[in-house]
Structures are given as structure tokens and as C-alpha cells.
Amino acid sequence: MANALLIGCGGGPSTGTITPTPAQQSVELSWVPSLSPVIGYNIYRGTAPGGPYPVKLNSSLQPATHFVDNTVLTGTYYYVATSLDADSVESSYSNEVKAVVP
């Protein structure tokens, strides 16, 4: 397993883990909750360092501080997360996480 960090959604470091399984690959992301009140999180994925991040992985706001991307194939992916406040104002991107899926 490889570890990664997501920082920026909650003010503290968070971890991501690449979790290969026999039937399917996945990337597991988790982060520290926002210090400010939020209604949820969005998770984005791209294939180039620094963006763009064209794929929004969640169809509705993610209320929890973890997310599993089960749509990956072999390759390298870059993830960022954002938080939304009560007025649905989206934060800037968290730091980028690189995940290499074997």
C-alpha cells in the first residue's frame, strides 16, 4: 500500500491509501474535518500533476471525511478535495495527492 496526504479541507494532514484487491483496484482517501462548519466535500481527479481535475467523483456532497474511488484502472491519478460551507461556497482545492495504481 502507498500512503498519500490531503491537506486543506480541514486544516490538518490526512491520509490516502491505494488498496488493490484481486477483482478491482481502488484508491481510498481520508482527511481531517474542516475547522469551519461545512455541509460536505467534493473530490476531484485528474491525470496530470497540477491539474486540471476534470472528473468530479461524487455526484452529491460527501458528508464524511473519507472516500473510495473504485473507478480506477492501472495508472497514475491526482486527487484534490474541496469543502462547501452553509451558503454552498466551495473552498479552494486541497493539496494534491498522487496515487499510482499498479
Phi, psi of 62 (to 5 degrees): -85, 110
Report pLDDT for 1. Answer: 33
- The pTM assigned to this predicted structure is 0.79
> How distant, in Å, are the alpha carbons of 3, 36, 82, 96 from that of 12?
16, 12, 14, 14
Q: What are the structural domains, with CATH classification, of the chain?
A: 3-101 (2.60.40.10)
Over residues 15-42, the pLDDT tens digits come to 445 444 445 688 999 888 888 899 999 9
Phi, psi of 2 (to 5 degrees): -110, 145
Question: Which stretches of the chain score pLDDT less than 50?
Answer: 1-5, 7-8, 10-16, 18-22
